[in-house]
Amino acid sequence: MQGGSAPATVGRAPGPRGTQVVFLGTGTPLPDPDRSGPATAIVVDGAAYLFDAGAGVVRRASLGARKGIAALNSVNLKTAFLTHLHSDHTMGLPDLMFTPWTMGRTEPLELYGPVGTRAMTDGIQKAWALDIDRRLHDLQPATPRGWQVNVHEIQGGLVYRDERVTVTAIPVLHGAWERLPIASRPTTRPSSYRRRPAGRAFGCGLPKVRPADLRGLHDALDREGYPPWREYRRAYHTSTKELGEIATASRPGLLILYHRANPGCDQVGTNCGASGSEAEALAEMHQFYAGRVVEAHDLDVF
């Protein structure tokens, strides 16, 4: 997810402890072969809640299942949230809709997203209508409802609650988008840094855990930024300096950089200019924030 927001919350319900944050994809629109599209799974007491559906989301989840997180088995991917409808956050939505179904998911996907999510989902189902028909009525074994999607278009506030978690979303600044809850990290510009009118996006924080275990997830861009994108990123994303101020105020036990503006810039030959590497981002963060900070990579688990 992009930028930085004031956090809302994903609160743990009472019960056995067991919360994992699994980075399924930490990329951006840049086609970095080392990073799938943005997607994060919050696994609470054996149930997975997905936030964003970047390219490769189901395969990354399956790799997580292979590494021992059973909740990420494709048939268990049943609840998902889209922060906004940028293509890098939604390219994996057809994958999330259909691949678990072909693997045996029996119930519809519960999908929460901003206004426009229903139209996007309807369009995907129309595009794959012939495939759906063949799987339902040919010789392939297919459950009758696993391909369906129950879309919940949200406006902010309380958007989801079950016996494990409560998800509350707040609007944040991210260009001209209607953007919604992202449970694992704040993700667009904080309201205190608003510079121009824009549409709504939504952000929310981590499951509530003991203060010593608290983790803050946020994206960030270096202070200069890649020149062609500099104006956009300064308007709608969070700089390392701004993130340092947010983290200093909120004091997370561990600050994790995610969906950073210039991933891939560590590789020789990338068209990123002189700035934007992971090392530079972390060095800048240490200038503005004295706490623990790391950068997430695909399949990292916290």
Specify the pLDDT at position 252.
Answer: 85
User: What is the DSSP secondary-structure string of 113-161?
Assistant: ESTTHHHHHHHHHHHTHHHHHHHHHSSS---SSTT-EEEEE--SEEEEE
pLDDT per residue as tens, the chain (302 positions): 333 333 334 444 433 358 999 999 998 888 888 899 999 999 999 999 999 999 999 999 999 999 999 999 999 999 999 998 999 999 999 999 999 999 999 999 999 999 999 999 999 999 999 999 999 999 888 999 999 999 999 887 899 999 999 998 877 766 554 444 444 333 334 333 333 333 334 443 333 333 334 455 655 555 555 555 556 555 556 778 888 888 888 888 888 888 866 545 555 445 554 456 788 888 888 999 999 999 899 999 99
Residues 237/188, Cβ–Cβ less than 8 Å: yes
Q: Give the domains, in start order, of the chain with CATH numbers.
A: 10-295 (3.60.15.10)
* Cα dihedral 108, 2, 42, 161 sign: negative
280 alpha-carbon distance from chain centroid: 23
Give the tokens for residue 61: 């989840």
The size of the chain, in residues, is 302
The 10 Å CB-count burial string (b at 16+, else e) for 231-260 is: eebbbbbbbbebbbbbbeebebeebbbbbb
Residue 288's CB is within 10 A of a number of other CB atoms, namely 19
Residue 277's CB is within 10 A of a number of other CB atoms, namely 19
Specify the pairing of strand 39-44 against strand 47-51.
antiparallel
**Active-site position among 88, 95, 222, 298:** 88
Q: Which of 235, 206, 230 is nearest to 218 (CA)?
A: 206
**What is the rounded distance in angstroms from the CA atom of residue 288 to the CA atom of residue 290?**
7
Specify the pLDDT at position 125.
Answer: 98
| Whether 88 is catalytic | yes
Give the tokens for residue 36: 């799938």
Specify the pLDDT at position 75.
Answer: 97
206 alpha-carbon distance from chain centroid: 12
Residues 61/296, Cβ–Cβ less than 8 Å: no
